[in-house]
Amino acid sequence: MRQLEAPELRAWLTQNREPVTLLDVREPWEVSLCRMDGSVHIPMGQLPARLAELDRARTTIVICHHGMRSLQAGAFLERQGFADVVNLRGGIDGWARSVDPDMAVY
């Protein structure tokens, strides 16, 4: 599974014109504090039951707070046949600190 730091992901998203899925696997209370625009929220614990909501052929970028839950969720997605999974290393916290300084941190 590819892993990208927040600045690398921002550059990749800017250059890539293919549709992607930004999958946020954090808990609802975390998403209520901050989220990336356009992200799909499926808490990690609900992921197995909600796989049908995701496109296996589309690049899926998995996001959590610091990048550990998203790494686990991404490995699960790969085992389920998802073609291209990317983990946001450093998570939403890294995104807020290095890409979007207006985003809340917690």
Residue 12 tokens, joined: 């990749």
Between CA 79 and CA 42 the distance in angstroms is 18
Cα dihedral sign for 66, 105, 103, 48? positive
Between CA 40 and CA 61 the distance in angstroms is 10
Q: Is 34 an active-site residue?
A: no
Between CA 26 and CA 63 the distance in angstroms is 8
Q: Which of 34, 64, 85, 96 is catalytic?
A: 64
Q: Which residues are catalytic?
A: 64
